[in-house]
Structure 1
Amino acid sequence: MKNIKTTLLFGALLLTANLNLQAQNQTFSIHADYVKPSMESDYVAVAKDFVAECKKHNLQNTGWTTMRLDNGTYMYFESIPNMAALDVDAFAPLADKMGKENFQALFDRFNKCYDRHGNYLLTRIESLTYMPEGALAAQEGQNYRKYHYLYVTPSTAKMVGEKMKAIKELYTKKGSKEYYRVYHSDFGTINEYFLVAISAKDEQSYAKQSAENETLIGAEGKKLLDDLFKNIARYEPVSGYIQPDLNYIAKK
């Protein structure tokens, strides 16, 4: 099992290294809770209580951005400096301060709200990301997210990455105002994919921004996008909103 884990991790690191040799990629730890529709109000209540406890006890060395997808899934994004960070229990100090029984009681409330949840990693690929003003995941006033999942195979991933580079070059040349971040699936994911994340104020603003960009990039852009989609195995669009009241940033 250890050898398999090492091989998979090496493969993921090799691909992201090949995609970006000049800039430093950022890896994110993702936790996803697939919340039962009937339990969503209870889930939000305990999530708010958990953030309140983190703030009360000034929990350090962790912090996250929370996203609710339209299907009711809640996702927590936390940047990590390296794989070794996964071996650290960032919540242990909180359990000590709250008392282990109170801490466990919070998570017992969480556990009633979903039948499955899990963790995995995503890596932001800077060479494919188009963010002229900086690749911040949380942009003030732009809490809407449109996620484009572009599924690939081991034999097509490199080629798709190259086609995405060509699209970024066109956006740069045209001075597009539709900024986006590109992530690649990493350790803990079964299917391989690129994830394109676009921020906007709301769904209507996204639609307007997308239409304006389509006009800007014209026939040249349409050809590049058509070529890209001919080489992906599956496409899945997903939308949602950042939940600011469920975010946590540690105070220094």
Structure 2
Amino acid sequence: MKTKLENLILLALLAILPGSILAQESNANQSFAVHEDVVKLGMTAEYEDTCKELVGHLKKHNIQEARFITASISDNRYIYVSPIENMADLDKPLFSTLSEKMGKEAMSALFNRMDKCYDVEHDYIITLDPSLSYQPQGINQTPEGQDYRKFHYLYVAPANRALIKEKMKAVRDMFASKGSQMYYRVYRSGFGTRGEFYMVAVAAKDQLDYAQKAMANDELIGEDGGKIMWDLFNNLLSYEEFTGQMRPDMAYAPMN
């Protein structure tokens, strides 16, 4: 766990934006390193307390190198995300300042406590694809007041790769032509993922707000739009859907 957790914070150190690391207004493809902890159900409270304690040490010492966001997912995964420029970023030194400030033994003990909270963890890379995303006023991954998330995983067979991309562009163009208020961001799977997929992330205020947006969108796109959507889904290898919540209480950004 120590190595893995250090890796996820290393990824956070790579953030280069002055504000929220996931509040970009850019049309460029941006890759992100993702670390997942699959937390034991009975250890959720201890896991969160330990993460918050780590964040507390970062705040106490105002560690300038660190910056990360956190999301909790309905299947008890906790996801940490940071932008990277290339694979070489993953080899940069870890946690030297925090270790000096809080003490090496204390930091190791904190990581060891987190170790026992899960048996499975994953690390992989995804890339934001603005050309397939639908957010007319510009890509914003953390819209204010919309911490609720719906994550749609669209799994793709390699033989259908070009076809699925074409279908996803058709959906985006249809949403744009209808003036849909259901905005979404699309990410492509990359190194280390389990299978090839597109992940579609939709932000809302809460579950009710999402349901209302989805219902309004269904009415807006109508039967013709529905056919375009089903044409995409009928060509997928498989599909999964998860709900999630952004966790600012488990995130960290240094003070200037």
Shorter-chain TM-score bucket reads: 0.7 to 0.9
> Do structure 1's residue 133 and structure 2's residue 121 form an aligned pair?
no
What aligned pairs does 1:161-180 form with structure 2 within 5 A after superposition? 161-180=165-184
How far apart, CA to CA, are the structure 1 residues paired with 2:69 and 2:252?
A: 7
In structure 2, how many angstroms separate the alpha carbons of the residues matched to 1:77 and 1:138? 12
Deviation by residue 1:12-52 (Cα, 9 ceiling, x = unmatched): xxxxxxxxxx9420111111111111111100100100111
Letter in 2 for 1:122: I
User: How many residue pairs were aligned?
Assistant: 231
Hey, what does 2:97 align to over in structure 1?
93
| Equivalent residue number for residue 249 of structure 1 | 253
Cα offset for 1:178? 0.5
* Residues 1:224 and 2:203 are matched in the alignment: no
The aligned counterpart of 2:198 is 194
What does 1:9-20 align with in structure 2 at a 5 Å threshold? none
CA contact (8 A) 1:145 1:241 kept: yes
In 2, the alpha carbon distance for the partners of 1:49 and 1:186 equals 32
**Match of residue 150 from structure 2:** 146
1:61, 1:90 within 8 Å by CA — same for their partners in 2? no
Q: Secondary structure at the match of 1:131?
A: coil
Structure 1 stretches of at least 4 aligned residues deviating more than 4 Å after TM superposition = none
Question: For structure 1, which segment, 77-86 or 179-188, has the greater mean C-alpha deviation from structure 2 after superposition?
Answer: 77-86
Aligned to 1:48: 52
SS, match of residue 218 in structure 1:
helix
Equivalent position of 1:12 in the other structure: none
Q: Deviations over 1:102-153 (max 9, x none)?
A: 1111100110111111211111111001112222222211111001000001
Aligned match for 2:217, one of 213, 217, 221: 213
Amino acid at match of 2:149: R
- 8 A Cα contact 1:32 1:119, kept in partner: yes
Tell me the equivalent position of 1:18: none
CA RMSD of aligned residues (A): 1.5
- One-letter amino acid matched to 1:163: K
Give aligned-pair identity as a percent.
43
Query: C-alpha separation between the residues in 2 aligned to 1:242 and 1:90?
Result: 25
**Equivalent residue of 1:156, what SS?**
helix
SS of residue in 2 equivalent to 1:249: coil
Instruction: Select which of 66, 70, 83 maps to 2:70.
Output: 66
Query: Structure 1: which 5+ runs fail to align?
Result: 1-21
Alpha-carbon distance in 2 for matches of 1:98, 1:169? 52
Query: Which structure 2 residue ranges, 5 or more long, are not aligned?
Result: 1-25
1:81 aligns with 2:85: yes
Corresponding position of 2:11:
none
Judge conservation of contact 1:145–1:240 (CA < 8 Å) in 2.
yes
- For 2:189, the equivalent position in structure 1 comes to 185
Bigger mean CA offset, 109-118 vs 191-200:
109-118
What corresponds to 2:107 in structure 1?
103
Question: Cα distance 1:246–1:218, how it changes in 2: closer, same or farther (>3 A)?
Answer: same
Equivalent position amino acid for 2:52 in 1:
K
- Evaluate the alpha carbon distance shift between residue 84 and residue 221 of structure 1 in structure 2; reply closer, same or farther with a 3 A threshold: same
| Higher deviation after alignment, 135-144 or 79-88 | 79-88
Partner of 1:37: 41
